[in-house]
Structure 1
Amino acid sequence: MTKRLVVIGAGMASGRSLEHLFEMGGDWDVTLFGAEPRGNYNRIMLSPVLSGEKTYAEIVTHDDAWYAERRVTCRFGETVTRIDRSRKVVVSAGGETPYDKLLIATGSAPFIIPVEGRDLPGVISYRDLDDTYAMIDAAKNPAKAVVIGGGLLGLEAAAGLKARGMDVTVLHLMGHLMERQLDEAAGYLLRKELTERGIDVICRASTAALLGEERVEGVLLEDNTGLEADLVVMAVGIRPETRIATDAGLDVGRGITVDGRMVTSDPDILAVGECVELDGQLFGLVAPLYEQAKVVAATLCGEEAAFVPRQTSTKLKVTGVDLFSAGDFAEGEGREDIVFRDPARGVYKRLVLEKDRLIGAVMYGDTADGNWFFGLIRDGTDVSEMRDTLIFGPAYQGAAPADPMAAVAALPPEAEICGCNGVCKGRIVEAIEGGAATLEDIRARTKASSSCGTCSGLVEQVLAATLGDDFVMPAAKPMCGCTDLTHEDVRRLIKARELRSMPAVWQELGWQTPNGCHSCRPALNFYLLADWPLDYVDDPQSRFVNERNHANIQKDGTYSVMPRIWGGVTTPAELRAIADAAEKYDVPMVKVTGGQRIDLLGVPKEVLPRMWADLNAAGMVSGHAYTKGLRTVKTCVGTDFCRFGTQDSTGLGIRLERRLWGSWTPHKVKMGVSGCPRNCAEATCKDVGIVCVDSGFEIGVGGAAGMDVKAVEPLAKVATEDEVVEVVVAFVQLYRENGKYLDRPYKWIAKVGMDWIKARVVDDLAERQALVERFDVSQSVYQKDPWAERATPEVQRAWSPLADLTMEAAE
């Protein structure tokens, strides 16, 4: 007999409950209500959506096809307003829906500080996709954001908004960040890291009021400090959403009261997730919610099961910093601390022992051994025999491991690997012995690594340790849907078979799509251009729209004009030409950029040729702010004016930029030259950075300061400017010839290794000079200003909205 199940709430807890229910079988007619106009998605991954690393489509857990295949009636965007327990129906805008069993999964609601101004436009919480989109929209304009709350959600919001270009300040009521997960020392390190990344943090900050009239304009603190704010994000905590249960007369404490079977005070109504309370305890982490989901499914199917709250660990990734905490790390009588600090690496570890048992652990910067420590805490293991080496992890217990897999192989079967889904090593091994041979196989069978993904590397290590010689590294992803070949395969074959045109690639390499696609054409265009500069002719139709138009399109359809300012050094004549252009063409904003250039924003497309004709006439060329190529060479004033300067950093920066401008590369390249180790030009976080010292120049490569923040890796130390130029040009050419399209230098370096690069660019003088020669050949063809070329009457007439629409349609 078909049983009618109504589910209120389409989040992660109810979604996992339905997965288990369908796996267990039974004849169920399921109706799923959700307040949001969408189904189940991974809320843990909202932060990457906010920062731009992922899209909503990439975090969807259950798509329309999943619901349709299981005949789930979806009522998304429809809120249940009342439960009539006597008649066993729920009431919504669509009418009444009867049930045999009802599952409440309403989750939690954000806590909004009850201060004046909390209802102003521009004040939002951070709980769902709509909140995320609201923050993304707010970040489209240069603005200031204040995030109230220094817990996980608040810091994720701050990091995402900073990545979107906003000025961000975090206000936190307590003395240090994430006080529930971190001790004071780790909280200090986190605050220091965030501050270094440009996020202001104010602790012990109590909000008195939000200021503004038509929308929020500022935040007033209790100490009368005022902060400007175009956006205020409330991330101070959550409360179980219990209103529907309270109105229905169910037992409610802080949450909806349930027993171990997840049944409420009404035997036909169950509850799951952040809205429930069991034995006075609330649950906010995903791991216990998923355990509850298993029990819900078993209870609905008439099987015996009980949810028993277990100790959980917290492994978090906040703005690229690893954090782990488990157990009780508060100070107390009879407790002993073991602390490890490595300031140079930004690593801090603290273990708390009591009566020869590990009872708490806090780790910052290096959390690789977190699961092992958590196992010791959970199992109450006597650690007296390993006391002296405990802080160094499992690899130092007994003899040193013979290989890197030894520590993973030594983990017991009950060791937890995936905290989100409660998957232990033994379960993963069972899946492998049952035929799982890839990370995707294990994810499908056990759900390990399917939530936050931080355990993916550990899961693969278990896979490798279990399969031994039978382990096969995951195959690289194909370049696109047109071919099974990877980017690396295509690059290699273009050179080996001397393929010098896109039709030759499509024909000889068996392309499945006749003329390629929007994904592979830009990559092929670059590979052919880099490998055969004298034979291949650049195809503008295979470039992204900004590169075709030689300007960056803005959100309102206008463009930005950014002339090249060599090494950040300009002249009165150049400034006058820029000012004249801004006045003549009524430019709405003139902005100095972080790369020491001037950006003219809001220029209509049809004006671009005329404006550039004026700038070209003044001797200025394109700054290539739109390209996959050299963007800027940032410099400090060096020895000319600075009393600390050791070398002529300004002159060297100009020399590098004039040599390298116009060179197409797999991704954008930014450089910096600092005149002394004080590093005013921020050279140590550039793709290529040079720091001047008394003895000469230190060259580093592979830095980053975007969504990933990374210091450069040392490449070479040289004595003269000529050597700097030669090494840098050779490095850029090696990157051009071997890098995967859209891989920044640091990603390419991670794949090939610094030793491989040094062997060709530093150690082998003949190879270095050959790279420079090949670079110069390419520059002889492509180092030219696109606007100077097209600034003819014929080109200007062709440069019209109609002509460009035709080009867009052809694409």
Structure 2
Amino acid sequence: FQGGEGTEEIVMSDPFGGVYKKLVLKDDKLIGACLYGDTSDGSWYFKLLRDGRSIADIREKLMFGESNIGDTGHEGHSKAATMPDEAEVCGCNGVTKGTICKAIREKGLFTLDEVKKHTKASASCGSCTGLVEQILMFTAGGDYSAAPGKKAVCGCTDASHQDVRDAIREQKYLTHAQVYAGLGWRTSDGCATCRPAVNYYLISTWPKEARDDPQSRFVNERSHANIQKDGTYSVIPRMWGGHTTPDELRRIADAADKYKIPTVKVTGGQRIDLLGVKKEDLPGVWKDIGMPSGFAYGKSLRTVKTCVGSEWCRFGTQDSTQMGKDIEHALWAMYSPHKVKIAVSGCPRNCAEAGIKDVGVIGVDSGWEIYVGGNGGIKTEVAQFLVKVKTAAEVMEYTGAFLALYRTEAWYLERTVHYIARVGLDHVKKRILDDAEGRRALWEHLQFALDGEPDPWFESVQASVDVRQFVPVAEVPA
């Protein structure tokens, strides 16, 4: 996706409309594509990429999609009509065109949400949404109900995520009830989709004033552990910058033996995962290991991955381990629209893989380079360069300001890569680089929001953890 020597790039960006397209060409062949907002031609671009066919004859219209290339493409028909039934539409869930068409005809589906519910197509990463809508339009015909231009948070309201954010800030709503009443919610108590979003918008907009509602969080965040497929839980304690001690390792080993925890695994984020913990044992495990919550279960800061840096490595230019520890200590209790992963590498060799993290910090001889918006998930995205700074204090300020901006502007469940694609990197640079006073204010506001945040594993009352959930229900004799 980054291109390189001998490649050409065709880019279309509409930040206001939320559309970004980038095509990478080499020797008159498509070798890479990045689509955000409008992904309707994704499967066609993928076919061109896979087949390795020359695009010389359609180059001028390539960016505008298959529907704009005349007889060399669909010959006047909808792309959905030309696809065979066995063609895979949704790669995340393995859904074919035939499965979607069958569900539409047999179940009488007329909206995208109905197709998602019955087939799971477009229900994961969303990159196939445009194509699913084309299939729906082609199959349902005049009964097709197009999705509104402004996407509502859920079926309880017509308000978008931005509408909710703006209303909470402008009207100073502090409770769910105020939001539902003020924005005309059709349900009195919301639903499983809107409640977590509204809860996040309230506590992130008005920290110290709006109260967190644990019942509006997902089960993992209520239990402060990750539920597994068999109903047990995983426990991942925080290890600052991937650093641990012999005493911590002994306590982890003793807890694994005491509670008969079947699996102990090292994670990709340089932490240790205890898998197979019974729910009633969670408080005991937390107490015995005596380490802070790793928040591996939440929409929050997960890990700050580091290499050994200049302290040990002969190639290291900066002390990446200490830098990572400092960042993690400052941000460890941060809730956010989605999970946040950070990495700090001590030199450009980038052993901590900072290039695919939400925030990546790379040490160079003259200071630090900061990258933002990387993602190693379903669709790998390389982080974009934000700024080069000289001191560790500047790393903290710029990193904190960016995450503060993300916390206050991103929509719930929107990763940093999608947030940046929606608002544009220029907007981020304007707020973080061009406005020094605003940058400091963002960082200070984030520090204010995080100051005094309790550790849910050890301060259950302050963190509003309902400890009754860990008490096993007594068996009633027949």
For the criterion TM > 0.5, the same-fold answer is yes
Q: Cα 1:658–1:418, aligned 2, differ >3 Å: closer, same or farther?
A: same
Q: CA deviation at 1:507?
A: 1.0
**Following superposition of structure 1 onto structure 2, how do residues 271-420 of structure 1 map, counting pairs within 5 Å?**
341-342=6-7, 347-349=24-26, 363-366=30-33, 390=56, 393-394=59-60, 411-412=69-70, 415-416=73-74, 418-419=78-79
From 224, 228, 234, the equivalent of 1:560 is: 234
Amino acid at match of 1:595: G
Q: Which position in structure 1 is the counterpart of 2:458?
A: 788
Q: Which position in structure 1 is the counterpart of 2:297?
A: 626
Q: Report how many residues are paired.
A: 398
**Following superposition of structure 1 onto structure 2, how do residues 119-268 of structure 1 map, counting pairs within 5 Å?**
none
Q: Is the 8 A contact 2:252 2:289 kept in 1?
A: yes
Report Cα offsets for 1:670-704 as digits up to 9, x if no partner. 01001111111000001111111111111111111
Amino acid at match of 1:665: S
Q: Percent identity?
A: 48
**Following superposition of structure 1 onto structure 2, how do residues 524-543 of structure 1 map, counting pairs within 5 Å?**
524-543=198-217
Report Cα offsets for 1:466-515 as digits up to 9, x if no partner. xxxxxx99612211111001111111111111111111001111111011
Distance in 2, matches of 1:534 and 1:686, equals: 29
Q: Is the 8 A contact 1:685 1:709 kept in 2?
A: yes
TM-score (norm: length of structure 2) = 0.74
Q: Is the 8 A contact 1:613 1:791 kept in 2?
A: no
Q: Cα 1:497–1:588, aligned 2, differ >3 Å: closer, same or farther?
A: same
Q: Cα 1:622–1:456, aligned 2, differ >3 Å: closer, same or farther?
A: closer
TM-score (norm: length of structure 1) = 0.45
Q: CA deviation at 1:422?
A: 3.1
Report Cα offsets for 1:424-464 as digits up to 9, x if no partner. xxxxxxxxxxxxxxxx89xxxxxxxx99997948x99xxxx
Distance in 1, matches of 2:127 and 2:304, equals: 37
Q: Is the 8 A contact 1:630 1:663 kept in 2?
A: yes
Q: Is the 8 A contact 1:534 1:778 kept in 2?
A: yes
Relative contact order, higher structure (CA 8 A, sep 6+): 2
Q: Which position in structure 1 is the counterpart of 2:169?
A: 495
Q: Cα 1:510–1:573, aligned 2, differ >3 Å: closer, same or farther?
A: same
Distance in 1, matches of 2:264 and 2:197, equals: 33
Structure with greater Cα Rg: 1
**Corresponding position: 1:721 with 2:392:** yes
Q: Which position in structure 2 is the counterpart of 1:583?
A: 257
Q: Which position in structure 2 is the counterpart of 1:422?
A: 82
Q: Is the 8 A contact 1:560 1:599 kept in 2?
A: yes
RMSD: 3.9
Aligned partner of residue 255 in structure 2, secondary structure: helix
Distance in 1, matches of 2:288 and 2:225, equals: 16
Q: Which position in structure 2 is the counterpart of 1:709?
A: 380
Q: CA deviation at 1:801?
A: 3.1
Q: Is the 8 A contact 1:500 1:535 kept in 2?
A: yes
Q: Which position in structure 2 is the counterpart of 1:644?
A: 315
**Following superposition of structure 1 onto structure 2, how do residues 413-492 of structure 1 map, counting pairs within 5 Å?**
415-416=73-74, 418-419=78-79, 421-422=81-82, 456=130, 475-492=149-166
Distance in 2, matches of 1:800 and 1:771, equals: 41
**Corresponding position: 1:746 with 2:413:** no
Q: Is the 8 A contact 1:369 1:394 kept in 2?
A: no
Q: Cα 1:605–1:411, aligned 2, differ >3 Å: closer, same or farther?
A: closer
Distance in 1, matches of 2:56 and 2:267, equals: 49
Report Cα offsets for 1:555-604 as digits up to 9, x if no partner. 11111111100000111111111112112212111111000001111111
Distance in 1, matches of 2:191 and 2:73, equals: 46
Q: CA deviation at 1:371?
A: 8.1
More strand by share: 1
Q: Cα 1:550–1:394, aligned 2, differ >3 Å: closer, same or farther?
A: same
Q: Is the 8 A contact 1:341 1:347 kept in 2?
A: no
Q: Cα 1:542–1:370, aligned 2, differ >3 Å: closer, same or farther?
A: closer
Amino acid at match of 1:758: K
Amino acid at match of 1:485: A
Q: Cα 1:455–1:727, aligned 2, differ >3 Å: closer, same or farther?
A: closer
Distance in 2, matches of 1:577 and 1:455, equals: 48
Q: Which position in structure 2 is the counterpart of 1:737?
A: 408
Q: Which position in structure 1 is the counterpart of 2:194?
A: 520
Distance in 1, matches of 2:288 and 2:78, equals: 61
Q: CA deviation at 1:395?
A: 5.7
**Following superposition of structure 1 onto structure 2, how do residues 537-686 of structure 1 map, counting pairs within 5 Å?**
537-616=211-290, 620-686=291-357
Q: Which position in structure 1 is the counterpart of 2:439?
A: 768
Q: Is the 8 A contact 1:634 1:671 kept in 2?
A: yes
From 684, 688, 700, the equivalent of 2:359 is: 688
Report Cα offsets for 1:386-411 as digits up to 9, x if no partner. x9x94781269xxxxxxx87x99975
Q: Cα 1:736–1:757, aligned 2, differ >3 Å: closer, same or farther?
A: same
Distance in 1, matches of 2:343 and 2:382, equals: 13
Report Cα offsets for 1:95-145 as digits up to 9, x if no partner. xxxxxxxxxxxxxxxxxxxxxxxxxxxxxxxxxxxxxxxxxxxxxxxxxxx
Aligned partner of residue 172 in structure 2, secondary structure: coil
Amino acid at match of 1:720: T
Distance in 1, matches of 2:71 and 2:354, equals: 47
Q: Is the 8 A contact 1:609 1:791 kept in 2?
A: no
